[in-house]
Amino acid sequence: MTPVPLRSIAASFAILVLSASGARADGTDADESAAVSTAPPLVITGYVDIGFAKAQGDGTSFPSSYRALPPPGPPDYFVDPFAPAVNSRGEAASTALPPGAAAGGFLPRSAGIGGRPSFLVNTADVDLRYTAPELPILIFTRLQVIPRLYDPATSQGVLGGEYTRLFLEQAFGRITPIKSAELAISLGKFDSVFGIEYLDNQANFRVGVTPSLLARYTTGQSTGVKVFYRYQLIPIDSAISLNVAATNSGTFVEALQGPSASLTGRPVGAARLGYELNLARVSLKLGASAAYGPRNDQSVTTAATQRLLGIDVRLVVPTLTIAGEYVDIEEEGGDELGAAPVPKLAGTGPYPEVAEFYAHGFWVQAAEELPLPLDPALFRLTLYARYEQRHADFPGYAGADIEVDRITAGLNLGLGESLQLKAEYLVNREVEGAPQVANNVFTSSAVWTW
């Protein structure tokens, strides 16, 4: 017979006494109906992101010299058109092309403010989250309105940005079939599983205002199925996780690979293997991601593939968060040897060529929440800085091999639970290949979450 510590027996006596007065022997509530959560099954939340931004020059990365001497190919292959970002969506201040130039479909969405200081309604967002009371099912939709001035009388983006859009950013059902396991299966349109930057995609979750220069490859939503599984390793305070998805379009943002439908009939596979170390005051998360499948911007051919590899790290101590990510991208060209280029369909429209493309780069960000003598629930001030570098190459075009970097610094002021005020300055630099251009940006954002 195994001896039982006396204190256990003593506690048992006390619990017997409590039982007589209404509490259950295990100490939990006898009134089960009042014991469980009273949270409503349907929760509707959302946010409004209002910004104010000013970009240098005309708000693009195209140099004025392109007006007189255009590059030997689509101008968006020779600069980084995503660099003068103004908001959390990664929209550029402008994507207005040099006169007479034709884009190659490597453009971000445009806010259409050019170099003019402007207020912007970046996003009005509504999230619906339904948790079935009796079943392990969650339904989630995220609907966004993006109001933009559109001037159809002029060429794309000269005065206006993209047209106003009603954007169903996510819509999926998630089932957790096994109560005793951290396993979730989602079906629908959902966030990427590649890397970590998708976790901060929304303005009300992002500490800064703008995404990194690599976000265009890793933070898109697509339609398909994904499976998440995590296993805890208690003895070493750790966990490993696997997030796997098979989707129509991979992980590029919708401006680059927009259609929710599969253009090739074959899915893109993506996965992230993660490791977490969770100590009392330190959390370290490491991940390795990969994606492979057909390019989903090829509207005629199906053979061109895309391949992404990435590693990521996050280190969190109570007030300091350091995060970084390295991504390597390879996209095969869609045109067959010796044949005419095949057309491409991106989120911003049709383009003449599925061009071969390579890129790699990294970003690293540090954010420190200042220890102010104020209630953090009411007032939080976070300073952050990010450095990033991106190298891109279109081998089919001489000179379209560029390297740029960016230094970003800003502050985030949290007022209460719902309001964030953010401001940052982006220093964009053309390190190699790309023509020098003044495309630094000051941008700010007030995000109200309701």
Partner 1 sequence: MAAVIALLCCAGGGRLARAAEAAPSPAAEPGWLGDDLPLPLAVKTPQDIGFKSAAERQYLIFNLMAGGKLAFDRGDYTGAAGKWETLLRMPGLDPQVAQAVQPLLEDARARAGRPAASADQQAGAPEKAPAPREQVSPTPRRTTVSGTVAGGGPAGPGGAVIWLKRLDEHGPRPTPAQNQIITQREKTFLPHVLAIPVGTSVQFRNDDRIYHNVFSIAKPNDFDAGIRATGATYVKTFSHPGVVQLLCNIHATMNAYVVAVDSPYYAKAQASGAFTIHNVPPGRYDLAAWHESASSVTHKTITVGPEGHRDLAVTVGGDKRPAPFVPDKYGHKRQPQLGY
Buried b (16+ CB within 10 A) or exposed e, 185-215: ebebbbbbbbbbbbebbbbbebbbbbbbbbb
**Candidate residues 119, 163, 379, 450; the one interacting with partner 1 per rule CB under 8 A:** 450
CB of 144 to partner 1, least distance (A): 15
Q: Is 135 in the site for partner 1 (CB under 8 A)?
A: no
Using rule CB under 8 A, residue 134 touches partner 1? no
Nearer to partner 1, 72 or 133 (CB): 133
Amino acid at 43: V
Q: Which of residues 181-240 bind partner 1 (CB under 8 A)?
A: 181-182, 184, 191, 199, 202, 204-205, 228, 230, 232, 234, 237, 239
Question: How far apart are CB 288 and partner 1 at their closest, in Å?
Answer: 17
In degrees, rounded to 5, the angle at the alpha carbon of residue 151 between the alpha carbons of residues 145 and 153 is 150
Q: Are 382 and 411 in contact (CB under 8 A)?
A: yes
Is 340 one of the binding residues for partner 1 (CB under 8 A)? no
Q: Which stretch binds partner 1 (CB under 8 A): 30-38, 53-61, 96-104, 399-407?
A: 30-38
Least Å distance, CB 411 to partner 1, is 17
Q: 4, 135, 153, 339: which one contacts partner 1 (CB under 8 A)?
A: 4
Q: Return the range that interacts with partner 1 (CB under 8 A); candidates 127-135, 262-270, 388-396, 402-410.
A: 127-135
Q: Which two tokens stand for residue 68?
A: 């007189």
Q: Which of residues 63-102 bind partner 1 (CB under 8 A)?
A: none
Number of residues counted as binding partner 1 (CB under 8 A)? 72
For residues 248 and 260, the answer to whether their CB atoms sit within 8 Å is yes
**Cα–Cα dist 296/434, whole Å:** 27
- On whether the CB atoms of residues 447 and 423 are closer than 8 A, the answer is no
User: CB-wise, 11 or 398, nearer to partner 1?
Assistant: 11
Is 10 a residue that touches partner 1 (CB under 8 A)?
Answer: yes
Q: Which residue from 56, 241, 302, 305 is in contact with partner 1, where contact means CB under 8 A?
A: 241
Binding residues among 355-394 for partner 1 as defined by CB under 8 A: 369, 375-376, 380
Q: Which is nearer to partner 1, 13 or 339 (CB)?
A: 13
Which pair of tokens denotes residue 84?
Answer: 């003068």
Stretch that binds partner 1, among 39-47, 50-58, 209-217, 296-304 (CB under 8 A): 39-47
Q: Could you count the other beta carbons within 10 Å of the beta carbon of residue 19?
A: 14
Burial status of residue 239 (CB atoms within 10 A of its CB: 0-12, 13-18, 19 or more): middle
Closest CA to 379 of 423, 417, 424: 417
Residues in 404-423 at the binding interface with partner 1, rule: CB under 8 A: 417-418
Q: Which of 138, 158, 286, 315 binds partner 1 (CB under 8 A)?
A: 138
Question: Minimum distance between the CB of residue 157 and partner 1, rounded to whole angstroms?
Answer: 32
Q: Which stretch binds partner 1 (CB under 8 A): 2-10, 61-69, 90-98, 357-365?
A: 2-10
For partner 1, give the closer residue by CB, 33 or 436. 33
Say which amino acid occupies 237: D
Single out the residue of 29, 336, 395, 416 in contact with partner 1 (rule: CB under 8 A): 29
Whole-number Å distance between alpha carbons of 238 and 283: 10
Longest dimension (CA), the chain: 94
Check residue 398 and give left, alpha or beta (phi > 0: left; psi -120 to 50: alpha): beta
Instruction: Give the nearest distance from C-beta 91 to partner 1 in angstroms.
Output: 22
- 179 binding partner 1? (CB under 8 A): yes
Strands 118-131 and 137-146: antiparallel
Helix (H, G, I), strand (E, B) or coil at 419: strand
Residue 283 CA to residue 265 CA, distance in Å, equals 41
Is residue 174 near partner 1 by the rule CB under 8 A?
yes
Nearer to partner 1 by Cβ, of 63 and 414: the residue is 414
Fill in the per-residue mask, 253 to 292: x = in contact with partner 1 (CB under 8 A), - = not in contact.
Answer: -------------------------x-x--x---------
Provide the minimum distance between the beta carbon of 123 and partner 1 in the complex, in angstroms, as a whole number. Answer: 15
HSE of 51 in the Cβ direction (CA atoms, 13 Å)? 35
Backbone angles phi, psi at 61, to 5 degrees: -100, 5
